[in-house]
Each structure stands twice: as C-alpha cells, then as structure tokens.
Chain A
Amino acid sequence: MNTARWRRYGLSYLFLLPSFLFIVVFLYYPVILAFFHSFTDWNLVQTKWTGLRNFRTMFGDSSFRTGAVNQIVYTLTDVFKAIVFPLLAAELIFLIGGPKLKYTFRTGFILPMLLPGIVTILLWQNIYDPNNGLINQLLMLLGLESWSHAWLGEDATALWAIVFYNFPFIAGLPFLIFYAAIGNMSQEQIEAARIDGASGWQVFARIHLPFLVPQFKVVIILTIIGSLQDFVKIMVMTGGGPGVATTNPAMIMYNAAFGSSQYGYGSAIGVSLFLVILVLTLFNMRFLKSDY
C-alpha cells in the first residue's frame, strides 16, 4: 500500500484489525483445527492420527444414517416452510390496502422474532405435551380424545411434530426479505401487465416470482445452513428420541464431542456437514441463476 493510500485508509484498516483477528482466532482457526482433528482420535488431551476411520465409523453407524435421513426431511421441509409461507404472507400484506393495516400486519409477523428462540421451543413443547398440551386439550374439548397422542414421545409422530414446530412458519427474516423485495418492484410494470389483462396469478407467476429469484437464493442458502446446524430444538423437545427417531447429524456430533469426549469423531461429522453445506450452496448458486 502506498503512502497516500495508507494515510487515507490506514486508520480504517487498524480499526478493522481487532475484529479480523477475533474472526481468525475464534472462527477460522477452530475450523482448520476441526479439519485436522477429523482424521484423529482426539479427547482434548491426546491426539492420535487415525486417517479416515472417523468417516468410516460415521457412515457405518446406523444411528447416523437414521439422523441423515431425518436431516433430509428437516432440510426439505425447512426450505419449503421458509419460502412458501413467508412469501404468501408478504404477498398478502402487499395486496392489503392502506398503510396502517399493512403496518399492523407487518408488525404482527415481525414481533415473534423478538422472542428468544428457546422460549418458542418451550412453548411448542408445552403445546405438544401429552398430558396438559394445547393440542390434546383441544382434541378432548372437541370430543376427539382418541386422536390425541404423545406427539413428541411416539415414533410415528415425533419427527413430524418437530417439522410442524412453529406453525404457520412465518419466520421474520424471510418474510422481511420477501416483503422488502416486493415493495421494491416496479409498480409501472405491474400496472402495465394488469392493463394488458394479466390476472393476479399471472402477475405473481410471471413478474413477482422471477423478480424474487435472488431473494430465494439467499433464503434457501440461509435456511439450509440453519437447518443443518440446528439441533437445539431437537435437543430440547425430544433429545433426539424416542430412541433415535428425531436425531440429526448435528445432534450426533454434539453427543459424540460433548457427551463422550470423542472430539475427533465429532469433528468428522462437523466437517461432513460443512462439506454438505458447501456443495448445496454451490448447487444453489448455479441452479438458481440471476442477474444479481
């Protein structure tokens, strides 16, 4: 960097340096360490090189395979939920006349974002509670007691109870992303389409959807990452059970690393998740082409 540039930007770089150092030390360095340790047997005290053994163990483990299948269900449904419902809500609010009403509904959808995640998880755990839960109480009131279940405690329902957690799935961030994008669309173009006789559905399908492709990319990538990393709600709601019915790779990774000090094996699962996220992200970038 020449002297003039240093004089102009030097101070800015200096201010950035501490943050960058923190990121390197607390994010990049552990990631590199995890790559290394995924090929070792590491218990925080001793490290022994084991080559690909952790990865072989992972693929040979029936619990991991169950977790991987569960993860596919979680991720596919998470992406579906993150796209369809927030988009629907954003479109509906966009169509509502009057700024006050729009504001009221927008706030209504955003407010739940302020709740700590764990609170929502515990609320849903209570909703599913077999003895005192809202769902079973409601079924009882309707005379449908025979339909009640231990939603989180039965093999047949536990996985889908987790999938239906937080219904109607209007997550604040995707909703805001879609709503902001819809608000930024060219109204002249939409009006022109309407004058040309386009129906509401045609406007949505031919103008809105293509315009929203960059937002889809962002939401899909963020959702996939979040879905693959998420184990908190599973841990709190079912602990991965009954048995391993609702477990996922992140949960298995946590148990291996922090439940039985198998940090090498845990690192191998973490590295695998990282690679899956990378591949899916690249696929998403290529598959959903846009000009942005």
Chain B
Amino acid sequence: MKRNQRLALLMAASLSVASLSACAGSGGKGDASPSASSGGASASPSATATASASAGAAKAKKTIVFSTITNYYTAGLKQAAEDYQKLHPETTVKIDIVSDNTTYMTSFQAKMAAGGDDAPDIVHANLLGDTPAGNVKKGYILKLNDFISEPNPYNNGVSLRDGINGDYWPYAYTSDGDIFMLPFDLVGTGFYYNKDLFAKAGIAETPTTWEDLFADLQKLKDQKIIPLSMSQATGSDYEGWMVGAFEDWANRSRIPEIIVQPGDARSTPEVEAINGKIQYKADDPFFDIGAVVDAERTMALWKSGKYDLQGPAEQKIWSTLKQLSGYLQPGYATMKDADAYQLFISGKAAAYWNGSWQVGQLLKDQQALGGKGFEWGTFKFPGFKQADPNFPGAPRGILVPGHQLSVTNKKDADTVARAKDFLLFLYSPEEAQKVFTTTIDAGQFVQGPSLVKGVTLPDEVNAYLDGFKVAGNMNGQIGQIATGNPAAEPNATAELKGLELQYYNNKLTLEQFLQKKADFVKKTNEKYIADNQFDLDPKTNP
C-alpha cells in the first residue's frame, strides 16, 4: 500500500507540476508596445473659431457620440472634444472607442436597425458593414452634398469642400453620386524595413523590383534573419492587399467595362458626370479616381471569360506570391499582425508589410527602445524588372482617404446639427493640426498625410510616409473577376486561403491551384449573382 501511495504521490506531483507549468510558461515574447499616453498639444481653442448658428442656438445640454477604433487618433480626438466643449459647454462630445472592426460594423448595423437612437452620431464610413450607397439608401447615414458647401465658421468661412484636398473628393461619392463622407487623411500600404539588418546582409539600396526584392530577401535568409514578416491569418490577411494590387495591375485596363455607364439602370447625372471623365491610360494611375463601379457589370465581365483565370498573368501573380511565402516568418498562416509586428520591432524580422497607419506606433516604440532601437525606413510595392505586357504601367496599391467620417442619420435634428458642427470644428486647420500632433505624441495611429489643407507633419514622419505613396489607388472590385467572393464572406475567404496555402506548401501544383481557384471564383460569384438577382444586363434594374 505504501508503495502504491508513493507511486500515486509521484504521479500526482508530476501531473500537478505539468499543469501549473502550462499556466506559468512564457513564450518569451516581450511586449514592445508601450502604453499610450496623451499630452503634448495645447488645449487652447481656436482663436478664429466662432460658434456656428446651429449649435449656438441650442442651449440644452446634449452629448454627441463619435465612435472610433482603438488607437485611431484616440488621443487627438479626445483633445478635440475637450477643445470643442470649451467653446460649446452645452455640447459634450464623447469619444467612444470600439476595440475592433467587426464589432464596430455589427454594432452600427444592429443599432440602426433598432431605430438608431443608441447609434453613435459620427462614424467611420468605411466600417459600417454595408456599401456607402446601401447605408444612405437605408437612411443610416446622411447625404452631405449641401453640408460640404456651407461656410465653415471655424475656418474663416472656407467650406469643407475647399478646406479639404480636392484630389480626394471623388472618393467621397456613393455609387448614386451622393457625398457620404469627409476625408481626413490618406492611407497607403508598403514595406517597413530595418536598415541595420539590411546593412548587415550587405543590402545598400531598397529594392524596386520583385527580382531585386527576392535577391535581398535571400541575402537576409542566408544571414539567418527572418526576411519578411507579414500576417496571413484569417481576419488579418495582409497578403490580400498584395493580391489586390497584382490583380489591379493585370486588369485595370478593364475598369472602364465595370463602371456605371450612360443608359445603365444605376446611372444618374451625378454618376455620369464622374464616370464620363474616365478613360484608361496605362501611364496614368489616377485615371479612375472616384469611378463608380457597378457590381453587376463586374460580374458580367467575369462571366464573359475575357480574363483567363489560368492564363499567364495569373500564373505570374501566384508564382510570385508563392516565392514570397518562402521568405515569410514561420507560422505566417495563422500569425496575427500584432505578432508579425513584434518580430519586426524586436529586430528578428528585417522587413514588415503593413500600412502607413503603423508609422505612429513605430515612432513611439523606437523611442521606448532607446539605444536598443534601430534605423528604419519604408519602400514601395515593387514592379517587375522586365516590362510585361500583362502588367502595364506601374503597380498601384492602397492610396485612399483612411479616416472617412460620416454623420448618422438620426431623427433628432438638433443632435445631427451638433454632430455636423463638431465636424466643422474638427476640419479646421488649427484643430486638425492639433489632432495630428497629439496623436503622434501619444504613439497612436496617424494613418498618413492629412487631407485637411494647412496641416503639416514633421519632416521625419513625412519621410517615412513616402514609402506608402504608391503610383495610385488600386480598384478593389476589378479583382473580383479573378479572386471571387464579392461579398467578402469570411468563411469563403478562409476557403480560398486554404487553397493558396496548399499551393505554397507544394500540395497543389500551380495548374491545380489555378483550376481550384477558378472553381471557387465560379461558386462565390454565382452565389453573389443569385443573391442579388442580377440578370447581368446593367440596363435593367433587377
């Protein structure tokens, strides 16, 4: 019995230790992200600002809610809210911080479906769970057509239309030709790189072609450095931007075929005015700025089979991406972006693919690292060394207004007026400058250069942002003819990613992969056509 007891004791002890070790174990991953702190900017209100008639007339105390995502100008917006309240004690602006995009979208749609009383008053138009036109049609967000032409009392009477960089207004139109948002800043995608690690591998210049990029990544790999860190996990698949850029490059000559055209059921005079100017030119990456694309025409183009889903362009795109996958960090298929970033900031990965919004975080983290930090820079999505007729012109990427602010369509006109007044205040050069400065000081996301005229960023920040200024903005919809899933269903996204990974891991040949991808595109596009009752004749309204 005693022997049994000793045996039991030994086994229980080992199990207990194993159990506790599982709870006490550490992966050894340090948290390089310092906590955000606010401060730096003065809180004095704009000297030139005067209360607008709409807000000034309303004396009752009210709260308007500005809903944003964690870290997106959070500190700057709070500063603006405080400044505004000093001018308008009768209006409290609450900056409501939502943790993630999915919650943001779901919450907005659910609150608006329930009548909208509990919905925030100012929202991010690109996170509303439906197309801008859809949200305007449903009465969830306001048309801002007249609002942007009103004189802004906080900017010496200069209207929003004139106070915001005019190059990017075309992005503010819905497919029905209405203004649905106010652009605040510009975002772009690109590569961050660790200059010290590049130098250690003998790389003197940043690559501008895929061939050079692969040569450089190989040099880094030879030095036992993770060449490139990029998340491809479900929900943070940043390779998707590369796929989008490649598909846009291969297909943008077909964009005129998918935009709304005169005589189409969805055509309006406003849309005609925008789309009428669009003409494809290989050497003009901005040729389609603001183009209003028609989903039915996109599906009709796919159905026509004009683009060969197994042709040379597709072969080149996917073999390039497969080659790139060989230089990614181990576990990239399920590694979230935060962990991919940790590899870069901790000096384990030499390059990191992300967007301009990460600049603020990197600046802050480098500051926190002090002597252990490293020199870093940015470079653009590369081209091909030899001109390829399947990829005319220069590659584009994401280059659009990032912070797109809309006003919720609420029943209470006074609340709507106060929300609009706060936006006028926010888009004054002085206050917008303060938002940027405060945000940078707090190490939060400044997504890119400001689109509010008169706002300037430090030279250091501008230098980093240069790597994200790609040739132009890719068209997000043209890629649907090659990758399907126009409804962007997460389950379908995961299915396609599964196929890609099988190809990258040599479980499928290129031909097999392209065949399976074509089947996937057929399945998802046909479901989309059926769900939307498209007859693929854009002249008729389904």
A123: contacting residue among B25, B113, B488, B495, CB under 8 A: B25
**Which A residues are in CB contact (< 8 Å) with B27?**
123, 125-129, 132-134
Contact B23 A112 (CB under 8 A): yes
Q: Flag the segment in A14-22, A25-33, A88-96, A181-189 that touches B.
A: A88-96
B19: contacting residue among A97, A109, A130, CB under 8 A: A109
Contact A260 B494 (CB under 8 A): no
A120, CB-defined interface residue at 8 Å: yes
A245, CB-defined interface residue at 8 Å: yes
Contact B4 A170 (CB under 8 A): no
CB B134 to nearest CB in A, in angstroms, measures 10
- Scoring B residues 3 to 17 as 1 if CB is less than 8 Å from chain A, else 0, what string do you get? 011001101110110
Contact B20 A241 (CB under 8 A): no
- Report B320-335 residues with CB < 8 Å from chain A CB: 329-335
Contact B8 A96 (CB under 8 A): yes
- Report A66-99 residues with CB < 8 Å from chain B CB: 85, 88-89, 91-93, 95-97
Contact B109 A243 (CB under 8 A): no
- How many angstroms from the CA of A125 to the CA of B25 in the assembled complex? 11
- How many angstroms from the CA of A108 to the CA of B334 in the assembled complex? 33
- Report A243-264 residues with CB < 8 Å from chain B CB: 243-245, 247, 252, 255-256, 258-262
Contact A200 B22 (CB under 8 A): no
Contact A150 B330 (CB under 8 A): yes
B226, CB-defined interface residue at 8 Å: yes
Chain B at the A interface: SS class: helix
Contact B15 A243 (CB under 8 A): no
Chain A residue, CB-CB nearest to B504: A242
- Report B494-542 residues with CB < 8 Å from chain A CB: 494-495, 497-502, 505, 507
Chain A residue, CB-CB nearest to B106: A258
- How many angstroms from the CA of A33 to the CA of B233 in the assembled complex? 33
**Which A residues are in CB contact (< 8 Å) with B122?**
none
**Which B residues are in CB contact (< 8 Å) with A131?**
226, 329-331, 343, 348
Contact A44 B12 (CB under 8 A): no
Chain B residue, CB-CB nearest to A108: B16
A112: contacting residue among B20, B233, B331, CB under 8 A: B20
Chain A residue, CB-CB nearest to B130: A261
Contact B491 A252 (CB under 8 A): yes
- How many angstroms from the CA of A92 to the CA of B18 in the assembled complex? 15
Contact B331 A130 (CB under 8 A): yes
A197, CB-defined interface residue at 8 Å: no
B167, CB-defined interface residue at 8 Å: no
A153, CB-defined interface residue at 8 Å: yes
CB A47 to nearest CB in B, in angstroms, measures 11
Contact A154 B333 (CB under 8 A): yes
B110, CB-defined interface residue at 8 Å: yes
Q: Flag the segment in A1-9, A220-228, A232-240, A274-282 that touches B.
A: A232-240
Contact B334 A155 (CB under 8 A): no
**Which A residues are in CB contact (< 8 Å) with B491?**
61, 63-64, 244, 252, 255-256, 259-260
- Report A149-172 residues with CB < 8 Å from chain B CB: 150-155, 158, 166-168, 170
- In which size bucket is the chain B interface? 35 or more
Contact B22 A239 (CB under 8 A): no
Contact B22 A167 (CB under 8 A): yes
A202, CB-defined interface residue at 8 Å: no
Contact A45 B113 (CB under 8 A): yes
Contact B495 A244 (CB under 8 A): yes
- Report B23-66 residues with CB < 8 Å from chain A CB: 23, 25-29
- How many angstroms from the CA of A108 to the CA of B26 in the assembled complex? 19
Contact A127 B25 (CB under 8 A): yes
- How many angstroms from the CA of A126 to the CA of B27 in the assembled complex? 4
**Which B residues are in CB contact (< 8 Å) with A137?**
28
**Which B residues are in CB contact (< 8 Å) with A141?**
none
CB A174 to nearest CB in B, in angstroms, measures 13
Contact A239 B235 (CB under 8 A): yes
Contact B8 A95 (CB under 8 A): yes
- Scoring A residues 184 to 211 as 1 if CB is less than 8 Å from chain B, else 0, what string do you get? 0000000000000000100000000000
B490: contacting residue among A62, A245, A260, CB under 8 A: A260
Contact A242 B129 (CB under 8 A): no
- How many angstroms from the CA of A123 to the CA of B336 in the assembled complex? 15
Instruction: Enumerate chain A interface residues (CB-CB to B < 8 A).
Output: 44-45, 61-64, 85, 88-89, 91-93, 95-97, 101, 105, 108-109, 111-112, 115, 120, 123-134, 137, 150-155, 158, 166-168, 170, 200, 237-245, 247, 252, 255-256, 258-262
Closest 4 pairs (CB-CB, A-B) = A243-B498, A126-B27, A153-B331, A150-B331
**24 sampled A-B residue pairs with Cβ under 8 A:** A44-B110, A44-B113, A63-B492, A88-B11, A88-B15, A92-B11, A105-B13, A109-B16, A112-B20, A127-B27, A129-B29, A134-B27, A153-B330, A153-B332, A153-B333, A167-B22, A170-B19, A239-B233, A240-B494, A241-B497, A243-B333, A244-B491, A252-B491, A259-B102
Having A63-B492, A133-B28, A244-B491, one finds 8 other A-B pairs with CB under 8 Å, namely A44-B113, A93-B12, A126-B26, A132-B27, A153-B335, A238-B334, A242-B497, A244-B494
